[in-house]
Amino acid sequence: MNLETLCREVTALTKNVGAFIIKEREHFDASLIEKKGHNDLVSYVDKESERQLVKRLQELLPEAGFITEENTANHRGARYNWIIDPLDGTTNFLHGLPCFCISIALYENDIPVLGVVHELNLDECFYAWKNGGTYLNGRRIAVSQTNSVADSLFATGFPYHNYDRMQPYMAVFDFLMRNSHGIRRLGSAAADLAYVAAGRFEAFYEYGLNPWDVAAGVVLVREAGGKVTDFSGGIDATFGKEIIAGNAAMFDEFLNVVTEKFSGN
């Protein structure tokens, strides 16, 4: 399999489906919003986007299975699996806020080998494949070289249904407010991770996430020279429901902060 060729075909797919999403945003009917759970919203746009993505990805790699947010397809492949979020940042989309993405990753035997995050408002397509580097609209990108927490800008996402770990989460938040350049909350984990890969943020942390929220971003950050782990430094950041992603220069310092605050929780 030629991962570079496949990656470029996936980026073309996100452009086509992204055009559908942007068009629907122009006349979206808020009465069609559905609730999957507390603060967990979905619309026909999410579902139709995922249907289009699944159909085309099946054509590109028939032997692959799927892990999808909207359950359009969830049969697992023996070797390959696509992990898809058709609209990461749904709440932003529904409220007319300009940060939402299509996120697609390919995993081979639970190893991330391809990732694409297309932020639709700025038409920025971030993509990477195993041992191929990370790119933004055709230009190679890399994580920043900032080597201290004090000089870093961080991203995070607020928990929206699991509040059991709010105390240590807010302890990290408080530490960063006092000891860094600041914290941003965009409302899309896929965008946060893409921006770490591009050097716009030094690091990102969050808990309570699903595989489709982070799978593509994990590939982007690692191929851009960064590190991605769970809160204990373990490598299972895609399926472990907690993630730290950052540049290599300040990662260990930040990991120590998170590990200390979350120890025992």
pLDDT of residue 161: 72
Name the residue type at position 170: M
Question: Domain 3-141 belongs to what topology?
Answer: Fructose-1,6-Bisphosphatase; Chain A, domain 1 (3.30.540)
Domain 149-262: top CATH class: alpha beta
Strand order in the sheet with 153-156: 182-184, 153-156, 203-207, 242-247, 226-229
3-state secondary structure of 83: strand
Write out the residue limits of the CATH 3.30.540.10 domain(s) in the chain.
3-141
* Distance in angstroms (rounded) separating the CA atoms of residues 259 and 109: 28
Write out the two tokens for 41: 């919203």
One pLDDT digit (tens) per residue for the chain, 265 residues: 899 999 999 999 999 999 999 998 887 766 666 655 444 445 778 888 999 999 999 999 999 999 998 777 878 999 999 999 999 998 898 888 999 999 999 999 989 999 999 999 999 999 999 999 999 999 999 999 999 999 999 999 988 777 888 999 999 999 999 999 999 999 999 999 999 999 999 999 999 999 999 999 999 999 999 999 999 999 889 999 999 999 999 999 999 999 999 986 5
The candidate with the shortest Cα–Cα distance to 190, out of 250, 100, 96, 55, is 100
Write out the residue limits of the CATH 3.40.190.80 domain(s) in the chain.
149-262
The candidate with the shortest Cα–Cα distance to 106, out of 95, 115, 98, is 115
pLDDT of residue 35: 58
Name the residue type at position 173: F
pLDDT of residue 39: 42
pLDDT of residue 159: 81
Q: How many of the other CB atoms lie within 10 Å of CB of 174?
A: 11
